[in-house]
Chains A and B, each alone.
Chain A
Amino acid sequence: MKHILLIPENEKPTLTAAIINTLLVSVLLIALFWISLNQIQMTLDFSFIGTYRIRLIKGFGMTVALGLIGFIISFFIGLLSALGQSCKILAVRYFCNLYVMLIRGTPLIMQIYLFFYILGTAWGIENRFVAGILILSLFEGAYIAEILRAGIQALDPEQMEAARAVGFTRKQTVRFVLLPQLIVLTVPSLTGQFASIIKDSSLLSMIAVIELTQTIREITATNFKLFEGYLFLGFLYLCLTLPITLLSKRLERRFRHEA
């Protein structure tokens, strides 16, 4: 019994122990849910999924689009500010430092309301999708800047000197040594950030971008199936984020002997 419930130090759990414990945790979770449901005497009814499937699919698609486009734009914002943070022009450096500090130091929801107001009134960007993507990218860009900056700092100067010693030109050094090593150092964290972007995009429902969360909010506002609605919402987000998280873990393991 002890061998199944406890892991000896520095050892991996056996397959039987892994299965039994996974089952145990699942049963506990389901029981907790079931008891809570019984308390409020509710029976689950998921029939709304069929009724609203077109809207749900559209919302899901919108969330995927926000995540993908947001990731691409925020990557470039992050790259520019990571490079800017080591720029020779001091004003550029300070600007990038300030950007990263302010964005990372304030909550996304405040940025959404504030920037949506500024974008709409001062810049005339009324399109909620465009405004939403810009705000989201601005937010995530600061986090990506930190990932890239840490990666650049972790590059080993001796590897760069070895690149010159074998006769690589500057361009070849970037292409054959610097970039591949930067990828090894940053791709696992960048994948993780992609999962965060998908989750964070749910806050854009606050400015009524009709993505997944907003769709569920609208549906539950009419049919009052709050519990089922948000349970299903969580399930849909997990469908997107779990594979990405697993991929990130895999990449980390694969790159381990290369970093």
Chain B
Amino acid sequence: MKLEINDLSLTFHGQSAPVLSHVNFADSFGSLAIIGSSGGGKSTLLRLLGGLISPTSGEIRIDGDRIPTDAASLQQYRKKTGFVFQNGGLFRHMTALENITIPLIQVHGYSQEAAQMRALELLKQLGLEQDGNKHPAQLSGGQRQRVAIARALAARPSFLLLDEPTSALDPEYTSEILTVLNQLKQEGVQMIIVTHEMGFAWHACDKVAFLQNGTLLEWGESASLFQSPQTPQLKQFLSKLLEWNR
């Protein structure tokens, strides 16, 4: 996919300091990792990419098409993306199965049977055949995230947007989810992922972008970005991470 971000800025209502300021980006990739320290604006950028909020100024183009700003076209745009939230964002009052089928039926016009088949196929693919009738509260953190990924994939979106899908998980579940994502990537699913898992960003993502204090300081091929960071900020960020990983 081709992503262009032109002079994108966002200031939240009633605040003076911008959360994102003059972000520019232009590149093509199958998978992009967004990294950076906490509060840097990564989630905000991802919500802009998902059409969940609109920028104060600037624009985003995906494969040449500008993300719209009016409510009706935004809703159409969101239908073509798959969003995975940090804690899953699964609807608590629905079972895992309903979380997948109800949007398929109501938003994408599937019949009940077709939606059921698609949902069961995905749950099976993600190793959740047994868990379709459970509510999110009855699932483990790793299972929840797999259901969230299944829901995001269900309507065959053009790409996935994932906001720290593993940060609420312990190491075992983390590697479980990362394996799933890597498999999806091999199958050709395109994704943009905000992550603290540098190993995953390095080895499983084509490109990496580094966001610090609302500014996109650096982006490029993941290997070269990690091996020869250009900005002092990224050098410092990476060396801090390495401190405990030697």
| Total count of chain B residues near the partner, CB < 8 A | 25
B89 within 8 A of A: yes
What per-residue 1/0 map shows which CB atoms of B68-86 lie under 8 Å from chain A? 0000000100110101010
Contacts of B92 on A, CB cut-off 8 Å? Answer: 156, 159, 181, 258-259
Contacts of B50 on A, CB cut-off 8 Å? Answer: 165
What per-residue 1/0 map shows which CB atoms of B26-60 lie under 8 Å from chain A? 00000000000000000000010010100000000
Which of B99-107, B185-193, B207-215 interfaces with chain A? B99-107
B89 near A159 with CB under 8 A, answer: yes
What per-residue 1/0 map shows which CB atoms of A109-140 lie under 8 Å from chain B? 00000000000000000000000000000000
Contacts of B90 on A, CB cut-off 8 Å? Answer: 162
B79 near A159 with CB under 8 A, answer: no
Q: Complex: how many Å from CA A165 to CA B83? A: 6
Q: Complex: how many Å from CA A166 to CA B85? A: 11
B116 within 8 A of A: no
Contacts of A158 on B, CB cut-off 8 Å? Answer: 85, 87, 89
B151 within 8 A of A: yes
User: Which residue from chain B places its CB closest to the CB of A258 in the assembled complex?
Assistant: B93
The minimal Cβ–Cβ distance linking B132 to chain A, given in whole angstroms, is 15
A169 within 8 A of B: yes
B89 near A162 with CB under 8 A, answer: yes
Given the interface contacts A159-B92, A257-B137, does A164 sit within 8 Å of B106 by beta carbon? no
Interface centre among A156, A158, A162, A259 (most CB of B within 10 A): A162
- 24 A-B pairs in the complex with CB atoms less than 8 angstroms apart: A156-B92, A158-B87, A158-B89, A159-B89, A159-B91, A161-B47, A165-B52, A165-B85, A166-B78, A166-B103, A166-B151, A167-B79, A168-B103, A168-B107, A169-B75, A176-B102, A176-B106, A177-B93, A180-B93, A181-B93, A258-B92, A258-B93, A259-B92, A259-B93
Q: Which B residues are closer than 8 A to A by beta carbons?
A: 47, 50, 52, 75, 78-79, 81, 83, 85, 87, 89-93, 102-103, 106-108, 135, 137-138, 151, 155
Given A162-B85, A166-B107, 4 additional A-B pairs, CB 8 A: A162-B89, A165-B85, A167-B78, A180-B93
Sorted nearest first, the 9 A-B pairs with minimum C-beta distance are A162-B89, A165-B83, A167-B79, A167-B107, A166-B103, A257-B137, A258-B93, A180-B93, A167-B78
